[in-house]
Chains A and B, each alone.
Chain A
Amino acid sequence: MSTSVSSISNPKLSLNILTEGDIRQIHSATLEVIESVGVKFPSPKALDILKAHGAKVDHETMVARISGDVIETCLAKAPPIFTLAAIDPDLDLPLDGNHSYLGTDGCGVEIIDAFSGECRRSNKQDVYDVARVADDLDAIAFHWVPISAQDCPPESRGLHELEAIWTVSKKHAQTETILDERQMRAAIEMAALLAGGKGELRKRPLLSIMQCTISPLAHDTGSLEAGLIAAEAGLPVGFMTMASCASTGPTTLAGNLVVGNAEVISALALMQMAYPGCPVYYAAAQTAMDLRTGAYTGGGPEDFLFGAATNLLADFYNVPLSMGAFATGAKEPNWQAAVDNSFSSFMAVSTLSDMLLGAGLLHGSRIFSYEMLLMDAEIWSILHAMFKGIDVNEETLALDAIREVGPGGTFLTHSHTVEHLGQLWLPTLMDRRTYSAWQVKRDGAREWALSRARQILSQEPLESLDPALKIEFEKIIETVEQG
């Protein structure tokens, strides 16, 4: 069971992707869209709240037009900093604008079995197993429900998934699969039991919620209503846009940012109208449609640019960001996966996006692979090393050592070398052997990643959840199932 998480903080590298003027233009265009075109809120409850705050509401089309002033005033109420609490407080994740954390991806529909290699439909045991492996990796700071527990009833599936994760991990959990009021109330009840009461949960939210918007410029009934219930309980709530260039958003990247931004900030404003000061976050996974097939790409230069640009918007609104990265469309952990996931994560971290989703999925977030999870963790460790940048000071300039070694000498045996060895990165999956050593088995990253996952899975599971709580969880789930 992990006792620490590896976050990226105080990065030495940064990227200039949008100027302040660019951001202001995107912001003004967004307000204009929300005010003149409007955003669809297909929930009477949401529309009533919006109307009470001065929005022009068309009850027939369910479109609300909200003035820019109102949006700005509401967003200003959102706390700029809050913590995603973990069951083990040492694993807490402060979202203070100075950390990037990596989570698993969610929520795939199939899994490549770690032992048989078969690609099959996922079940609750898989959620439990992936959580065990993710828990073991320092690179993974929080869990998303990685794949669906398809052997559980649809009406309580999201709860079974949370139970599986909480049974074996003390890290923070974020879910995207609780879309209705009933399951949301039950999830809050479960989280409150874990936290030691509703008041405690509010102080230490062990669970955060992610809902999707429907590009262009619309929201989903269930997501809005479930989001409001979570906000009421003090759980951090994020709304994710997936505006896709050329289909659900304009082809042009700036226009796509405007559409997505309008969706996200209108939802965050609604949460603030209902529960001023509740913790909310921006979430995004914009992409570009594949021009030939219409497919969701989950990679490519547009995705990478969005990855870096979106955090500037979230920073502008002073809320944390959860950014989709690592969402390769590759079918196996191969060249494409490495290119996609390295670039997307690098770009998102370059502007210090607070939360990055998500390690481990292939085929545009549809197939879970243990190999990919371990490889994504290794990419994270490279980023971790890179973003430390280059320290320049007396000690690192190493003048004394250079003087002592002199022309033609060696640093290998110098004490300065040994003192600083820990600063050099060590791979676990990169092949740096000789050619002949490789020739023996012709193995590499994939085999090593898989064997590491198998090793973790073969250990006796460490169930950290109090058995008495587990019984309570099961009762709550049963109540939901009985309607």
Chain B
Amino acid sequence: MSEDLLAEITESVIGGEPETVIALTRQALEMGLEPMEIINQGLVPGMDIAGEKFSRGEFFLPHLLIAAKGMQNAMELLEPELVARKQTFKSVGTVVIGTVQGDIHEIGKSLVGTMLSANGFKVHDLGVDVRIENFVSKIEETRADIVGLSALLTTTMIGQREVIEALVEAGLRDRVKVLVGGAPVSQSWAEEIGADGYAEDATGAIQVAQKLMGAKS
């Protein structure tokens, strides 16, 4: 019975029905299933399969993102239950991400953020046109492992350097890895400003983020 329900949750994640994912997750909690069980045996397998289908070209980006949304919604529901049990779902790492000040390009940054969370990272997305101090305070507050800085304009990419400088000033630079990306950004720019990683697209961003986590531990 509970196995059937978990399988249904998996299916609803893959099938792109975020509303159903929520309803089934709620039902599972009501039936007394453990939140960890729901996550590890219902949600995560769904996300894994969606990811595999995407890599094989059977799924397109919207399929993958809707699956991630379903999982995220369910996680929000489960979070307080985990807290109540003094449990934590161990994420791969915590990421604060945003588009730097003066820049309102959102699509690429959000894509990177969503793909990171689909790959097990806990992501705090600060949106676009984010002030330096907001990056710094969010990193402090969440004890983030990685900060992701997106910049799409040649006039705003300098903001990536400014965040790094602010991190040094706040004494946080050793605690957090800096990942940069966006249309005018390159590996050489990343090196020039002392970032820890650069990625040209979302898939690359996941790989670099995973590598940075490896370097941290």
Contact = CB atoms under 8 A, between A and B. Distances in A.
Nearest to B115: A294
A109 B60 contact: no
Interface stretch (A167-175, A232-240, A285-293, A345-353): A285-293
Interface in A287-327: 289, 291-296
A366 B185 CA distance: 11
Contacts of B201: 293, 295
A interface, over-half SS: loop
A291 B183 contact: no
A244 B154 CA distance: 22
A154 B155 contact: yes
A122 B108 CA distance: 23
A244 B208 CA distance: 28
A157 interface: yes
Interface in A124-159: 148, 150, 154, 157
Residue from B104, B108, B202 with most neighbouring chain A CB atoms (10 Å): B104
B132 interface: no
B183 A294 contact: no
A30 interface: no
Interface string B123-158: 000000000000000000000000000000011101
Nearest to B202: A294
Contact of B61 (A177, A248, A292, A296): A292
B154 A292 contact: no
B4 to A, nearest CB: 33
A220 interface: yes
Given A291-B60, A292-B61, A214 B108 contact: no
A148 B60 contact: no
Given A246-B62, A289-B61, A292-B57, A154 B107 contact: no
Contacts of A295: 201
A72 to B, nearest CB: 29
A292 B154 CA distance: 26
A366 B183 contact: yes
Interface string A236-252: 00000000101110000
B111 A294 contact: yes
A210 B119 CA distance: 39
Contacts of A121: 154, 184
Given A157-B155, A246-B62, A292-B61, A109 B108 contact: no
Contact of B60 (A110, A154, A177, A292): A292
Interface string B48-64: 00000000010011100
Given A220-B104, A246-B62, A289-B61, A150 B154 contact: yes
A291 B61 contact: yes
Interface of A: 109-110, 121, 148, 150, 154, 157, 177, 214, 220, 244, 246-248, 289, 291-296, 366
Given A110-B184, A121-B184, 17 more contacts: A109-B183, A121-B154, A157-B154, A157-B155, A177-B155, A220-B104, A244-B107, A247-B107, A291-B60, A291-B62, A292-B60, A293-B61, A293-B201, A294-B107, A294-B111, A295-B201, A366-B183
22 contacts: A109-B154, A121-B154, A148-B154, A154-B156, A154-B158, A220-B104, A244-B107, A246-B61, A247-B107, A248-B107, A289-B61, A291-B60, A291-B61, A291-B62, A292-B57, A292-B60, A292-B61, A293-B202, A294-B61, A294-B107, A294-B108, A366-B183
